[in-house]
Structure 1
Amino acid sequence: MTIIADSFWLWQFLGRLHPLFVHFPVGLLCIALLLEAADWYRKSNQFRAGVTAMLWIGTISAIVAVVLGLILKNGEDYEGSTVAIHQWSGLATMALAILTVLALRSQRIALYRGLLIVTVLGVTLAGHYGALLTHGEDYLSSVLPGNKPKSPEGGETNFAFASVNTNQPLTDKQVQDLNLEVRAILAHNCYSCHSASKTKGELRLDKKELIMKGGEHGAILKPGHPDDSEMIRRIMLPADDKEAMPTKGKRLTEKEVALLSFWIKAGAPWPNGPEKSLYRVADLAPRLPVLPPATVDITNPVDRLVNAYFQKNKINWKTVVDDRTYQRRVYLDIVGLLPTPKQIDDFVADQRPDKRETLVKGLLNRNEDYAQHWLTFWNDALRNDYTGTGYITGGRYDITKWLYASLKKNKPYNWFVRELISPNKESEGFIKGIKWRGTINSSQRTEMQAAQNVAQVMLGLNLKCASCHDSFISDWKLDDAYAFANVFADTTLEIHRCDKPTGKMAGRRILYKELGQISVDAPTENRLRELADFLVQPKDGRLYRTLVNRVWAQLMGRGIVEPVDVMDNEPWSQDLLDWLAYDFVQNGYDIKKLIYTITTSKTYQLPSVGIKDADLVTAPTYVFQGMVRRRLTAEQFADAVSLAFNPIYQDTSLVKMLPPAIQKEVPFSRAALVKNDRFLTALGRPNRETVSTSRTSQANLLQALELTNGTTFNEALKRGAEIWKAKYPTSDALVKELYRKSLGRNPLPKEIAVAEKIVGKNPSVEGIQDLVWAMAIHPEFQLIY
């Protein structure tokens, strides 16, 4: 067939009709299944005639599509694993379609329906790989959030060399950068046809030696002579020329052509040693940047580094917030509670110059309140919950007692991590994952969950893609994910690609080999101890950068790196991130000292910045100007309502699960210690069956509905209104005290007038409930300014 295709244009023409014909079986067979399902549901044969016609047409078109596809493959040199999968899945679909028609003709309805389902799955698989061949391997992944194609510098290729005019030889750094730019151009424009998954014309452009080797027609470049290089000739041809490259998609820009020409003219240099990644890879080792000089009013190291950033970005320092705003902000951030009216009055009246530092120290010493507040943060990250999947079958373990005790005594973070990875009975729930009931995907077995969770939480690294196949968004491979998962396994894991066994057994190794080498044949307990020791080393700068970035994001509303689980992204201040991580290690891995450093900085005390579009927070163009204004979390809101008006939660069943000594430390049911319910879910508490390291701060319809009509919230307000009515029979005192307890200030005259109109001169329960509801949804109550 290859000879015929090469010698007669008609065969090439027919081959290129394959993409047209292949859509017939895709559409018709899928619709046939839907109509058959409708007949089965209705227990009728209403659509059987139409289904039969669709099956015949779909089967015939599947046969035609396969024939044309084979002509296309042989006539245009399609090769690679993706081509092979597409070819064989197409052949299988054709065979299944034929069997489906035969089963229907013989009236074997059960067999026919089963075959129809499998046929549709087959055509879906074949279509998926066909789309990858037509549009490139990143056709689906490129539109996902954070996966937009970009050059290593985050945009269009913009490399320029002084040596272009001076004819000086390139430095090693210039060779590396030039090579990275060249590879980016090839990856975004050429890999869809010339890579491991698809190799047209026997040409691959994804490796140095393969580029130099060329394709079936010989070399594609002549080092030092771009004008004599086939690559340059092809990319400069008119778009309608049959030899023009790329054959599909956008043409290379003049800038890209000039860069490739310059690269070839320079001798097509390639850096010695391992090829640098196309993706940004953050440094692993710690780094201590030089602190900019202090000034009279800028002494905190955080402020000195931010001051340098402000100067670079031409941003002026703003006046810090007033005492009331700062006190409310730091109370909510450190202990998750509102300050009482007396605490506010005392702080405002305090004339000591260091009163803000003293306040932070006092809050950090409230160990029980601190633990109960930060429990929420770590519960989200460590998938620790009190109910849910796995608890019924005994395939899940909570770590609440261990976690609460660790937070209360401010366990050093290196030991905190060590006890999670090399666990005791109380802390093993994190890496044990969740043993899901029934059959699960191979990428979700407990060992792989452990690998994914440790990588995400501890290292700010996404292994989820690489758990099924080589990652589309990083350099991590399937082998890397399975080798790391195998560290947690009692038996050697077999590598599965997209849930299909490969027959290859996984190795055992840590993700970053610079940190150490796991003893392959050691018992699981010993391997986990080794892994913990390797990860918590001071030289593992990534572990500690990830932690300080998470704490910064929790306190400031936005990480130095965003998203916080993608620590290879560019930070808005590398020096600030590095200094905080280095200082954190030098200060004994003390999270409270880290919080103190941040919350006593002038940077933390700047006015909050409102951002209307949530996408701007994670945009690469983000410019730091101060804390991002945040909405109270579900737990903060519930606790604020409980303190200001009336406890929302009366059930202390979960509190009773804690040790007796801890039970005495819980004055009311803090929301962090309450099992999830509709109210907390509506306000943003996540499903902790997966790791959750950030929550959206945007209001939504579900939250509005719950605050308006939700039983939990409104019954708490009603109970509170009855108590307030009995205590304050007149509106004057009632309104004033409500404002002081909820907003930390006295009401303005116009606010008093509106409030008295709502509650009446002689307050009613309904009137008080309405006023309290209005105050609870007021931005001044709901937001951290």
Structure 2
Amino acid sequence: MMAFVLCAGGASQWAWGERPNEAIDFDTQVVPILTRYGCNAGACHGAAIGRGGFKLSLFGSRAADDQLAIVQELEGRRVNLYQPQQSLLLRKATETMEHGGGERFDDASPVYALLEQWIAQGGKRLQRRQLADVRVTPSNVLLENVQDSVTVSVIARFDDGSTQDVTDVTTLTSDDSESVSIDRDANRLTVHRRGEHIVIARYLDRVHAIRLGIPLGTKELESSPDGGAQSVVDRWIDQKLRQLRIPASPRADDHEFARRVWLDLTGHLPSVGQLDAFVADQADDKRKRLIDRLLNTDQFAAYWALKWANLLGIDSKSLQPEGSQAYHGWLTDSFRQDSPWNASALAMLTANGDGYVEGSVNFLRSGNGPDGLAELATRVFMGVRLRCANCHDHPLDHWTQDDYHGLAAIFAKLKRGRVVSTSTRGEVTHPVTGQPAMARIPGTRDLSTDEDGRGEFARWVTAPSNPYFARAAVNRIWAQLMGRGLIDPVDDIRATNPASHPELLDALAGEFTAEGFRFRRIIRLICNSDAYGRTSQTRPGNESESVYYSHFIPRGLEAEVVAGAIADATGVDIVYGEDDQRDAIRLTDNRMASETLDILGRCDREAACETPDLSAGSLAKVLHFLNGDLLNRRLDDSQGRLTKWLQLYPDDFTLMDRLYKQTLSRPPNASERRYWTTRLELATESDGQWHDPTARQRFFADVFWGLLTSETFLTNH
């Protein structure tokens, strides 16, 4: 369990370097210096084409190449084995001769002495030890006041059993230099702003995130009186809120909760009848029962299939409408049956057959070539951006070019027409060697030529022991329900992008694995939590907070959901395609012509749409709402709800209540009722009567239009 370490600062003394006469190990002693002082960074000699004719591997990922570049290139002029002080490597770094990068260190520093000693020893690559582990302390610190500081210690352990304090040659980088400053002479981190901040520590290929926090509030918060009865979700959410002294917003009322959960689980608004029945129910467990009921509807399966179709990029442009329909149908069935996600992933990665018949086959028909499939597979099943390791080793993670092109080599042995099958031929070229890349399980091992690469990768990635698979899945589910991922963005899981609540993410991943990788269990757990059930209204002390779930985070709705909500609210269907489909959520052809969905900002699926953007299609949407007939025609329709309700509800406030419930799933609040009372007094005669039915129709058409174009209607909150 990882928790905050209470700390108010500290002091340490460092002993840098080895014994003076000991042989210097290039990989574990020289390379860290090059990284610590920025020599092999992307902005310097670690750039793809190097700098000033001198190229190093990014962050020292290829030590053998770096040693050759330093010692042998330029006719060996970069090092002077007989007069080490005259080596270009040292003279440039100390700027005793012109250097575009400026002075990196001085000639009295321990790192200068070590490099000089290495050159004097012949500039060799001895490979006498390999890094086994790195311990960074502290890793999680809660300080008390602004300007408090803490000293960092980094201890490396090697495979020969030795350990070394490597703090001085560990790169320390603040995610916000104005929030956390770094004193490299003392290796002290000083925090200048309240909240949580991250400092990244890198030694060789090991990257660790140091989390520093100062409470946002000054007043201690009380523990929950029923803390022992809290769900796993609320245990960790509430603990973080108490640590940072962020007050939580109260529980959402029944109207707010009902609208939220109906939209989240079905993509539809509750009808007025369903809403009134839920609010009238006095049972203590009514929210739990509603969640269970909605999870078992066909609407749930259809809506969550849409969410994951956007994520998977089910695109009829590349799959053809028949393939898209088969893929979407298979995905819907998977949600309807609550199929284990590991089984679904195995099916997608190992399937062969006709994509027009076997839906899961279409995963392998997606992606732009073997490289695109490697990127898609790791993004979907691991939450990892492996594409960052295409041109060079991943700059912020441990993935290498060998991992990227090795996984692509697995998918190169595929025939990917309408029918997918395995071929004995197919390769990708490794950009460094110029040779065919060796098939490889990322970060793990190379595969022999007689191994089934797809099967090996599928079994590895879906194994319960895989550190990414379950965490990526539950992180996405969390983001879809809570507005942002515990790791955010959700497709960027790495040590340098730590979770806001790491213990909660691990707990949810463990629950997901233990329950057979089934989505409904995790969705039910989250929806029943206090964190999910909070109002989106802020309170003093949490107004600017958007990371720790002190209140519910409003979020955008998919274009298909907005279109359906407009049709449901107005009572006038929007019809799609030749089959007269009336529920956009169930469309299987994302390219089906629809001006409405285009204006509302539907996902084009050429790039994944993880969660709807609050601003998706915003300008076109506003202009269309203002001037188009998407709403106006439905408000004036003789068969629409407004026309019928004007006759059915002669009392103005009864009609007003109905319009609010039909759109915002709640009656007008007190301030809104006062506002509309005033507006009605101005619009009617002195006796409260309307001049004529047309005047009343125009007034309530404007009310209805205002509700349908409001941010409250167009978001889930």
1:633-688, Cα deviation, whole Å (9 max, x unpaired):
222222222222224422374587xxxxxxxxxxx524342746232233232111
Aligned pair in 2 of structure 1 residues 713, 165: CA closer, same or farther (>3 Å)?
Answer: same
Q: For residue 633 of structure 1, what is the aligned residue in structure 2? A: 558
**Distance in 2 (alpha carbons) for counterparts of 1:412 and 1:359:** 23
**Distance in 1 (alpha carbons) for counterparts of 2:396 and 2:291:** 41
CA drift at 1:409: 1.3
CA drift at 1:513: 2.1
Residue 513, structure 1, aligned to residue 444, structure 2: yes
CA drift at 1:610: 8.0
1:111-190 mapped onto 2 (5 Å cutoff) = 162-164=12-14, 183-187=35-39
1:716-749, Cα deviation, whole Å (9 max, x unpaired):
4443774531453246243332122112233324
Aligned pair in 2 of structure 1 residues 741, 491: CA closer, same or farther (>3 Å)?
Answer: same
Give the structure with the larger strand fraction: 2
Residue 303, structure 1, aligned to residue 228, structure 2: no
Q: For residue 664 of structure 2, what is the aligned residue in structure 1? A: 743
Q: For residue 705 of structure 2, what is the aligned residue in structure 1? A: 773
**Distance in 1 (alpha carbons) for counterparts of 2:537 and 2:89:** 50
TM-score with structure 1 length normalisation?
0.62
Contact kept, 8 Å, 2:399 with 2:443, in 1: the verdict is: no
CA drift at 1:165: 7.6
1:362 paired residue among 293, 300, 308: 293
| Aligned-partner residue type, residue 735 of structure 1 | M
1:592-628, Cα deviation, whole Å (9 max, x unpaired):
11011111111222333789xxxx999xxx5553432
Contact kept, 8 Å, 1:222 with 1:229, in 2: the verdict is: yes
Secondary structure (helix, strand or coil) at the match of 1:771 reads helix
**Distance in 2 (alpha carbons) for counterparts of 1:736 and 1:193:** 67
Q: For residue 77 of structure 2, what is the aligned residue in structure 1? A: 216
Q: For residue 312 of structure 1, what is the aligned residue in structure 2? A: 243
CA drift at 1:751: 2.5
**Distance in 2 (alpha carbons) for counterparts of 1:573 and 1:180:** 31
| Aligned-partner residue type, residue 559 of structure 1 | G
Secondary structure (helix, strand or coil) at the match of 1:363 reads helix
**Distance in 2 (alpha carbons) for counterparts of 1:462 and 1:556:** 22
**Distance in 2 (alpha carbons) for counterparts of 1:681 and 1:420:** 29
Contact kept, 8 Å, 1:608 with 1:628, in 2: the verdict is: yes
1:447-596 mapped onto 2 (5 Å cutoff) = 447-467=370-390, 474-488=397-411, 489=413, 490-496=423-429, 504-513=435-444, 520-521=449-450, 527-568=453-494, 569-596=497-524
Secondary structure (helix, strand or coil) at the match of 1:186 reads coil
**Distance in 2 (alpha carbons) for counterparts of 1:228 and 1:676:** 71
1:19-38 mapped onto 2 (5 Å cutoff) = none
Aligned pair in 2 of structure 1 residues 190, 486: CA closer, same or farther (>3 Å)?
Answer: closer
Q: For residue 603 of structure 1, what is the aligned residue in structure 2? A: 531
Secondary structure (helix, strand or coil) at the match of 1:164 reads coil
2:626 paired residue among 689, 708, 728: 708
CA drift at 1:571: 1.3
Contact kept, 8 Å, 1:549 with 1:561, in 2: the verdict is: yes
1:399 paired residue among 311, 319, 327: 327
Secondary structure (helix, strand or coil) at the match of 1:493 reads coil
Which structure would you say has the larger RCO, counting Cα contacts within 8 Å and 6 or more residues apart? 2
**Distance in 2 (alpha carbons) for counterparts of 1:277 and 1:376:** 42
Aligned pair in 2 of structure 1 residues 211, 533: CA closer, same or farther (>3 Å)?
Answer: closer
1:429 paired residue among 362, 365, 372: 362
1:373-432, Cα deviation, whole Å (9 max, x unpaired):
1122111111114x435528x887751211111111111111121222123622211211
Contact kept, 8 Å, 2:304 with 2:335, in 1: the verdict is: yes
Residue 734, structure 1, aligned to residue 649, structure 2: no
**Distance in 2 (alpha carbons) for counterparts of 1:329 and 1:221:** 74
| Aligned-partner residue type, residue 606 of structure 1 | R
**Distance in 2 (alpha carbons) for counterparts of 1:194 and 1:258:** 23
| Aligned-partner residue type, residue 232 of structure 2 | P
1:138-287 mapped onto 2 (5 Å cutoff) = 162-164=12-14, 183-187=35-39, 192-193=44-45, 197-198=49-50, 206=60, 216=77, 218=79, 235-237=93-95, 243-244=97-98, 247-249=99-101, 252=104, 260=111, 272-273=130-131, 278=205, 280=207
Give the structure with the larger helix fraction: 1
1:702-726, Cα deviation, whole Å (9 max, x unpaired):
2212322344444344437745314
**Distance in 1 (alpha carbons) for counterparts of 2:327 and 2:555:** 29
CA drift at 1:572: 1.3
Which structure would you say has the larger Rg? 1
Residue 411, structure 1, aligned to residue 339, structure 2: yes
**Distance in 2 (alpha carbons) for counterparts of 1:310 and 1:576:** 13
**Distance in 2 (alpha carbons) for counterparts of 1:200 and 1:188:** 13
Aligned pair in 2 of structure 1 residues 252, 701: CA closer, same or farther (>3 Å)?
Answer: farther
Residue 692, structure 1, aligned to residue 615, structure 2: no
Aligned pair in 2 of structure 1 residues 754, 264: CA closer, same or farther (>3 Å)?
Answer: farther
| Aligned-partner residue type, residue 370 of structure 1 | F
Secondary structure (helix, strand or coil) at the match of 1:704 reads helix
Aligned pair in 2 of structure 1 residues 190, 630: CA closer, same or farther (>3 Å)?
Answer: closer
**Distance in 1 (alpha carbons) for counterparts of 2:264 and 2:630:** 25
| Aligned-partner residue type, residue 362 of structure 1 | R
Aligned pair in 2 of structure 1 residues 454, 726: CA closer, same or farther (>3 Å)?
Answer: same
Aligned pair in 2 of structure 1 residues 735, 324: CA closer, same or farther (>3 Å)?
Answer: closer
Aligned pair in 2 of structure 1 residues 594, 231: CA closer, same or farther (>3 Å)?
Answer: same
Deviates more, 1:501-510 or 1:265-274: 265-274
Contact kept, 8 Å, 2:646 with 2:655, in 1: the verdict is: yes
Q: For residue 382 of structure 1, what is the aligned residue in structure 2? A: 312
**Distance in 2 (alpha carbons) for counterparts of 1:320 and 1:262:** 63
| Aligned-partner residue type, residue 574 of structure 2 | Y
1:26-45, Cα deviation, whole Å (9 max, x unpaired):
xxxxxxxxxxxxxxxxxxxx
Contact kept, 8 Å, 1:548 with 1:581, in 2: the verdict is: yes
Structure 2 gaps, min length 5: 1-8, 20-26, 120-126, 134-202, 210-222, 414-422, 685-689
Give the percent of matched residue pairs that are identical in Structure 1 and Structure 2.
Answer: 24
Aligned pair in 2 of structure 1 residues 631, 690: CA closer, same or farther (>3 Å)?
Answer: closer
Contact kept, 8 Å, 1:679 with 1:713, in 2: the verdict is: no
| Aligned-partner residue type, residue 693 of structure 1 | E
1:6-45 mapped onto 2 (5 Å cutoff) = none
CA drift at 1:518: 5.1
Secondary structure (helix, strand or coil) at the match of 1:461 reads coil
CA drift at 1:194: 7.3
Secondary structure (helix, strand or coil) at the match of 1:428 reads helix
| Aligned-partner residue type, residue 427 of structure 1 | S
CA drift at 1:549: 0.7
Residue 326, structure 1, aligned to residue 257, structure 2: yes
**Distance in 2 (alpha carbons) for counterparts of 1:587 and 1:364:** 16
Aligned pair in 2 of structure 1 residues 536, 723: CA closer, same or farther (>3 Å)?
Answer: same
| Aligned-partner residue type, residue 534 of structure 2 | L
**Distance in 1 (alpha carbons) for counterparts of 2:557 and 2:44:** 46
